[in-house]
Structure 1
Amino acid sequence: MIRAILTDIEGTTSSISFVKDVLFPYARAHLGSFVAEHGDEPEVARWLAATAQEADLDPADRDAIVATLRRWIDEDRKATPLKALQGMIWLAGYRDGAYRAHVYPEVAGRLRAWKAQGLPLYVYSSGSVAAQKLFFRYSDAGDLSALFDGHFDTEIGGKREADSYARISAAIGVAPEEILFLSDIVEELDAARRAGLQTTWLCRAPLQCPTDGAHRCVADFDAIRV
């Protein structure tokens, strides 16, 4: 029995291209001005200091920190300080109407149907919790944020580490074997399965499900059975 659904975002609910071709360039272009304007605010300063610590930089050298953050964006580095700062920058873009977050056509309807069945819905993404909430609040399918009961990011652990999924299970109070995890990344699904979760692999067109995959595989949310 499934008692909760945990979903990834990129490649699962939404296209990877939106993040890589819209959100990442926006954050990169606005990073310098954002740090110059907001760098002394406590929450921003916290993540700038965390960047300096992780990169072994002088915490007072804002130029070096910004350059490092831009390089991490180019590398698609899953660094928690970067994800937190990106989320703050993206908020301005959403509010200004610069873009709306992409979700695949069937996703909103399926999420609403699961919610109507009484299934709690959770998100686990490498993007910060703040960025996740913005993503679903400002989606091109409307405000979906109220559908979710909780969000998790890399502060709980890496997505390819089984312990992360065990911590999520404990946090939401649902046994691992009663949680269904949805992702397009096999290594994440492998980690979730090692923690005892049920898994479904989203393999969206033009990709096709393999005939001998280790995980149940579907082309879209409408093909998921819970």
Structure 2
Amino acid sequence: MSRIILTDIEGTTSAIDFVHRVLFPYSRAALPDFVRTHANNPAVQSEIAAVRAELGGNANLEQVIATLLEWIDADRKATPLKALQGLIWDVGYQTGAFTAHVYIDAYDQLRSWHQAGMPLYVYSSGSIAAQKLFFRYSVFGNLLPWFSGHFDTTSGGKREAESYRRIAAALQQPAEAILFLSDVEAELDAARGAGMKTAQICRADAPPISTGGHPVHATFRTILPG
């Protein structure tokens, strides 16, 4: 039996549409002024420095901003961008500009697993800060206490088996004790390559059903860790 649930967010617990229709446009519109206004904030400074390093070290602030906007448009999973988006979304959540979408079946099943004492973890390309905001400000209220921990791209890319080995090591559990949930077959392939159990969520707005041998579920309600 799996002892731990590790779940993706977009397309899995929550609609991809929410991220692309609400979160990304909000962060794109707010990013230029946010970076200019908070450029001396240590948390923002470190991410600006990371972007500059990637650009060769001499980029001015406006060049950094332009690069970040290009990364948003390309949906690039760049760690500095994800960190800054998390800071921007924090403002949006706290001011009530939006609340995070969570599917009702995911809400019900995550609650059931939590109540049964099964540890729940998140692995998403969004920063850990953004993940925490997402579940703290969900349409069902604060779900954050249900989760025992979070992983993001600092653990590695989601399509790389080594990332899942790092997560298993961080949890001090054998990989086979972890069930990874995602809508993306390539991520599931990587998790399975590391030894984890897998389940693919195929919702109405998701890509075609897996042909890679992963158990397929239309909702969380049919997932039985095992």
Q: Shorter-normalised TM-score: what interval?
A: over 0.9
Report the alpha carbon displacement of residue 212 of structure 1 after superposing the two structures with TM. Answer: 5.1
Q: Which residue of 2 aligns with 1:224?
A: 223
- Post-superposition shift, 1:187? 0.3
Structure 2 residue 51 is the aligned partner of structure 1 residue 48: no
- Assess if the C-alpha contact under 8 Å between 2:123 and 2:150 holds in 1: yes
Letter in 2 for 1:3: R
Please give the alpha-carbon distance, in whole angstroms, between the structure 2 residues aligned to 1:206 and 1:79: 25
Which residue number in structure 2 is paired with residue 113 of structure 1?
A: 112
Q: Structure 2 matches for 1:124-163, cutoff 5 A? A: 124-163=123-162
1:17-166 residue pairs with structure 2 within 5 A? 17-59=17-59, 61-166=60-165
Moved more, 205-214 or 30-39: 205-214
Rounded Cα–Cα distance in structure 1 between residues aligned with 2:130 and 2:210:
35
**How far does residue 57 in structure 1 lie from its aligned partner after superposition?**
5.0
Percent identical among aligned pairs is 56
Query: Structure 2: how far apart are the matches of 1:206 and 1:73?
Result: 21
Give yes or no for contact 2:30–2:88 (8 Å, CA) kept in 1.
yes
> Aligned partners of 1:208 and 1:50: how far apart in 2?
33
**Unaligned runs of at least 5 residues, structure 2:** none
Q: Indicate how the Cα distance of structure 1 residues 26 and 220 shifts in structure 2: closer, same or farther if over 3 A, else same.
A: same
SS for the counterpart of 1:31 is helix
Q: Which runs of 5+ in 1 are unaligned?
A: none
User: Structure 1, residues 123-163: CA drift from partner, whole Å, max 9, x if none?
Assistant: 00000000000000000111100000000000010000001
Per the alignment, residue 3 of structure 1 pairs with 3
Residue type at the aligned position of 1:41: N
Please provide the CA RMSD for this pair: 1.4
Corresponding residue SS for 1:85: helix
Give structure 1 regions of 4+ aligned residues with deviation exceeding 4 angstroms. Answer: 206-213
Number of aligned residue pairs: 225
Partner of 1:193: 192
Q: Deviations over 1:161-202 (max 9, x none)?
A: 001001100111111001000000000000000000000000
**Alpha-carbon contact 1:27-1:90 (below 8 Å) kept:** yes
Q: What's the offset of the Cα at 1:109?
A: 1.4
Tell me if structure 2 keeps the 8 A contact 1:39–1:45. Answer: yes
* Structure-2 change in CA distance of 1:85 and 1:186 (3 Å): same
Letter in 2 for 1:49: A
